[in-house]
Amino acid sequence: MVRTGAEIVIECLKEQGVDVVFGYPGGSILNVYDALYKHSDEIFHVLTSHEQGAAHAADGYARATGKVGVCMATSGPGATNLVTGIATAYMDSVPMVAITCNVTLPLLGKDSFQEVDIAGVTMPITKHGYIVKDVNILADTLRKAFHIAKSGRPGPVLVDITKDVTAASCEYTPKKPESIERAGHYTQEDLDAALEVISKAKKPYIYLGGGAILSGASEEVRAFAKKLDSPVCDTLMGKGAYDGYDPLYTGMIGMHGTKTSNLGVSECDLLVALGARFSDRVIGNASLFAKNAKILHIDIDAAEINKNIHADVSIVGDLKDILTKLIARMEQMHHPEWTAHILELKEKYPLKYDDSQLSCPYIIEELDRITKGNAIITTDVGQHQMWAAQYYHYTKPRTFLSSGGLGTMGYGIGACIGAKTGCPDKICVNIGGDGCFRMNLIELATASRYQIPIIQIIINNHVLGMVRQWQTLFYGKRYSQTVLEDAVDYCKVAEGLGCAAIRVTAKEEVAPAIEKAIALQKPVVIDCRIPEDDKVFPMVPAGAAISEVFDGDDLASK
C-alpha cells in the first residue's frame, strides 16, 4: 500500500504498540501531526507546555510501564528543547524514541529558518541517531530505532526526518516488531568463577542498580539474596527491585546512603554488584571503596566492567537470565554472624530527623502510610529527592522515578504526567523543592488540560536546599544566589493553571491534605512550608571514603 512519509510514521508507531505520544507541533512536523489527527482514536497525543516536558513525560511513561516512551517536536528550538530530557534518559538507560522533523532536504546545511543539526547535537546523549532523507528507508529506520532503544542496555534514539520526506510517498508494508534478545555473551566459565567467589564469601553484600529493574529481575534478585543470605543495599535507580521492608535491606548506599549500607559495604568480603555502574555518588573515593572485598560485577553493558571499579569476576549479560542460572546451581548459604552484625548496625544507626516540626521526612512518611507504599513517586533533584529515597518504602519495581545520572531539576512534573498516563490506576505523586518546581511548573497546565490527576508536593523552604546545605557545611555559610525569598504564591499559581491547591504549614495538616488530594481526582498542588536549614543526613563529603559517612549527631559532637 502506498503511504506518505507522515502516514508511515504513524503506522510504524502503531506497529510498535505505541498508544500515547508526548509532543509539541511546529512547521516542519506539521505533516506528521496532520496524519496523527486522523488516528487520534488509536494514538493519544499529550500536548505538553514545553518540549522539555514532553521528553520528561516520555521518560516517566517508559520508566513506569517498561515500554518505549515516544516524544515528538519540530525543527530548531523544538528539537533542542528535547535535549535535556534526552540526556536524562540516556544517563539512566531509559528506552525512548524522539522523533523530530527538519527543514526540507534542499535547505539542509544552509542556516535555514529553524534549522538545527539535531542528530549532531544529540550524538553524545543517544544510543543512536538517524537523519532520514529518503522516504523509502523511513519505515525500516523507525523500526531500527525502537529495536535499539529496547535492546541490550536501553536508551534513547533520535530520528530526525526532513519535511519533504514526510510529504513524499512510497510503498509501505507492515511488519511485526523484532523480538528482543537480551541474554548476552557470557560463558560457562564466567558462571563457574562467580559461583566460586560466592561459595568462599563469609561477609557478602549485594549492591543493586537500575539494571535490576530494567531486566525485570526483581524476583530473581530477591531469591538470590535469600540463597546467598546477604544484606542488600541499592542506588536511586535500584529502588523497588528489593523489598524496602525486608530485615536485610539496609537502604541506599553512597553520598546520602545509610550508615549501615556504607559501613557494611566497607566491611564486606564480597560485593555483588547487580546491574549497577559504580557511580561516583555511590563509591566516593574509588581507591578506598570496598577495599576488603572481592568484586563480582554482573551487567549487560560490557563498557561498565572495570570502568570505575576493578571487578575480580564479571559476567556480561541479562541479569534476570544470569541470576536464574546462578540460583539453580547455588547451595543455600548461611552467614548468621555477618547478618546479625548488619542488623545491629541497622538498630544502632537508624535514619532519624527532628520530628518537633514540619519536615520533608515527616511528609514522606505520612505519604507512605496513606498510600501504603503503593504509589508511583517521581521526584525532582535535591534534598527532597534524597528524603524520598530514604523515607518511602519501595516494595515494587518501577515505583520510584528520578533523574539519577544527570540530576535534572525540573524533571518531576513531566515524568509524573507520563507515569500517570501509562499507569492510570496508580496514585502518582511528584515531590519537588520550590527551586525545581519553578523550572517546569508550566506543565501543571498540561495536567489540568487533560485532567490528569497527579499530586505535586512542593517542599518549600524558600532556598535551593541542597546547594545551601553544601554552602553551610563547606562554604562558610556564604549563601550566594541560593535564597528564593520573593512574592511568588505557588497556590495561586497552581489555581491559575487550573489545578487545586492546598497549603500546609503544620504537621497536623499533612495527612488531611494528602487524603484530600487523592480524593479530588484532579491535579493538586500541596505547598508545604518547611524550615530553610533542614539537612539531608547521613552524608559523605565529596572525595571521601563512604566509610567516613556522618550524620547530624556526628556534626554536633565535633
* Angle between helix 83-91 and 51-65 (nearest 10): 20
Given 38, 42, 44, 113, which residue is catalytic? 113
61, 22 Cβ separation under 8 angstroms: yes
Catalytic residue, chosen from 466, 469, 535, 539, is 466
Active-site pick, 51, 220, 304, 365: 51
Residue in 163, 239, 294, 420 annotated catalytic = 163
Of 169, 164, 170, 138, which is closest to residue 28 (Cα–Cα)?
Answer: 164
Task: Write out the three cell numbers for 527.
Answer: 505547598
* CB atoms closer than 10 angstroms to residue 485: 8
Positions of E strands within 424-531? 428-433, 455-460, 500-504, 524-529
Q: Is 466 a catalytic residue?
A: yes
A 10 A CB-CB count for 412 gives 36
Contact yes or no for 73/51 (Cβ under 8 A):
yes
Gap between the Cα atoms of 229 and 507, Å rounded: 40
C-alpha count within 13 angstroms, C-beta hemisphere, residue 450: 19
- Separation between Cα atoms, residue 77 and residue 128, nearest integer Å: 21
CB-based burial label for 290 (10 Å; 0-12, 13-18, 19+): buried
H helix intervals, 450-489: 465-474
Ranges assigned E (strand) in 209-312: 232-234, 249-252, 270-274, 294-299
- 163 as an active site residue: the answer is yes
Catalytic residue (one of 14, 15, 67, 114) = 114
In sequence order, the β-bridge partners of residue 274 are: 208, 298
Identify each DSSP E strand in 39-174 by its residue range.
44-47, 69-73, 96-102, 128-132, 156-162, 169-171
Catalytic positions are 51, 113-114, 163, 466
